[in-house]
Amino acid sequence: MKFRTFQEAARQTDQLAGTDLADIAVHLLGLVGEAGSVATEYKKLLRDGPAHTAAKVRIREELGDVLWYTATLATKLGLDLDDVARANLVKTRDRWMRTTAEPFDDQYPEAERLPRAGTFEFVASVSETGRLTVQVRNDGRWLGDPLTDNSHVDDGYRFHDVFHLAYTAVLGWSPVTRKLMGRKRKSNPEVDEAEDGGRAIVSEEGIALAAFAYATSHNYLDGVTRLDFPFLNFIKDITAPYEVGVRTAADWEQAILTGFAAWRALRDNNGGAVILDAASRSITFQDSGA
């Protein structure tokens, strides 16, 4: 049976077919109640085990009631249940399924491509004013200026360029890495401006900062394997205008977790190196003495 057919059949049996607030509230409460009934039947199954012989029939009945209330609420709110189902599958696929992450810049000259592999050293030092600093070096070339935490506390944010390398490896995207390595796509002025320019760079830095703030209240993601969906949706909203908008929430989750695993190692060792491998979508920490 198609959802749309079920929705129409459910509408015909609705005894409060109005669309005012009271009618909608009755159906909302009904949906909550029936969802609770599903849980109650499963609780009985856990308690009684095989003795609860009617468990499957009862749970089927309660799930049917949940579906009925869902269908009638969709009708009252002017929604098509087929469309609701399709939208849910799009959402869940984005949340849990990763893309193959083909590079965005294969058609550009090699000098304008993000690195596919390489070793990036994070060299820790102390400035003349006594501030802890970190500067990144690749193939003997310094990338950008020495960074401090820009904070009243020593929180290790000076190592945050590793996040951009994680985005490079996992997502095939990082306007910040392009700027640091001089790999902006200047052969295409429109792409250079819209994808590699200031707005994209600020967006990426904002994501790195937001991820750091999120991680601060989650043990810097140590032992964390899943990120909250609203947070990932926030990132998806920011990046929607860019080429990386095709990457899924699952891709972003992998990129952020990968970046923080390397960041924790760099922080704990006060520097070191990371090995970037875009083919395996990974960055791997390497101690300076290795």
State CA 17 to chain mean position distance. Answer: 40
Looking at residue 78, what is its pLDDT?
Answer: 95
Q: In this structure, which amino acid lies at residue 191?
A: V
Token representation of residue 29: 């409460």
* CATH number for the domain formed by residue range(s) 3-96: 1.10.287.1080
In the chain, where does the domain assigned CATH 1.10.287.1080 lie? 3-96
Looking at residue 1, what is its pLDDT?
Answer: 87
Looking at residue 134, what is its pLDDT?
Answer: 97
Contact residues for 30 (Cβ-Cβ < 8 A; gap 6+): 65, 69
Q: What is the percentage of the chain residues whose pLDDT exceeds 90?
A: 92
Looking at residue 289, what is its pLDDT?
Answer: 60
End-to-end Cα distance, the chain: 62
Three-state DSSP class for residue 276: strand
Phi-psi bin for 155: left (phi > 0), alpha (psi -120 to 50), beta? alpha
Of 17, 19, 65, the closest CA to residue 40 belongs to 65
Along the chain (290 residues), what's the average pLDDT of each consecutive run of 10 residues? 93 91 94 96 92 90 96 96 95 92 92 97 94 96 95 95 98 97 97 97 98 97 96 97 96 98 97 96 83
Of 41, 40, 30, 97, the closest CA to residue 65 belongs to 30
* Spatial distance between the Cα atoms of 10 and 64, rounded to a whole number of angstroms: 11
